[in-house]
Amino acid sequence: MKIKVSTDLKVGRLVRNFVFIDLFLFGGWGFLAPVFPVFIIDKIEGATLTTVGIAAAIYLIIKSLLQLPVANYIDRNQGYHDDFFILVSGLLLASFSAFAFILVSNVWQLYLVEALHGIAFSLYIPAWSGIFSRHLDKNRVSFDWSLDSSTVGISAGITGFLGSVMAEQVGFYSVFVAASVFSMLSVLILVISPDVVFPRSTVAEPAVKDHRNPL
């Protein structure tokens, strides 16, 4: 019995660009992952472990609820202009919300920024997934999704480690700046990609999947 393992890593241009967008966005937010609960407890007056849980719940619930109507809107409106502007809006809001953590000094401000964080990703995920899924490489659907998942995992793992070092050596605020800058780099990649607004489809039928659970 022979098992053939392909080493072909070539993907379509839009798929490649969108993988890089994910790399920078989730890599940026990966800086926060290991240090965010410590930041809340140490730097926000009156914060407890319950505060950490409430903050996480606000982000996840808002993101999960809002992304459904956003996805329905995208599906009802054919074309790529709406997808593009929703995607840009989500990335810009993600960059702003990461930086806004620097300004947080009390619990209600933390909850507000976490709500903005949830709104940002509720815009980003449906728009990104919709465009990405329409341009999957023919006969390589699983590989394209897995390439993105692996890229996100590796980048978030590396920046998670770097974030903990930065927070220890430089301070928490450097982590938030890094997350904001990385998110803005995702916007730059998106804007300079000529295939986003009027891309050429490479598959006859899109395969839409929920490709990951974001940070």
Grouping H, G, I as helix, E, B as strand and the rest as coil, residue 194 is coil
Fold exhibited by the domain 25-191: Growth Hormone; Chain: A; (1.20.1250)
Note the pLDDT of residue 23: 95
Residues 125, 91: Cα–Cα separation, whole Å: 10
| Domain range list for the chain | 25-191
pLDDT value at residue 206: 47
| DSSP per-residue codes, 41-87 | HHHSTT--HHHHHHHHHHHHHHHHHHHHHHHHHHHHS-SSHHHHHHH
Tens-digit pLDDT string for the chain (215 aa) = 444 445 556 888 888 899 999 999 999 999 999 999 999 999 898 899 999 999 999 999 999 999 999 999 998 987 778 888 999 999 999 999 999 999 999 999 999 999 999 999 999 999 999 989 888 888 889 999 999 999 999 999 999 999 999 999 999 999 999 999 999 999 998 887 655 555 555 444 444 454 454 45
Contact (Cβ atoms closer than 8 angstroms) between residue 21 and residue 190: yes
Would you state the pLDDT for residue 9?
A: 65
pLDDT at 10: 80
Question: What whole-number distance in Å separates Cα of residue 22 and Cα of residue 155?
Answer: 9
> What is the predicted pLDDT for the residue at 168?
93
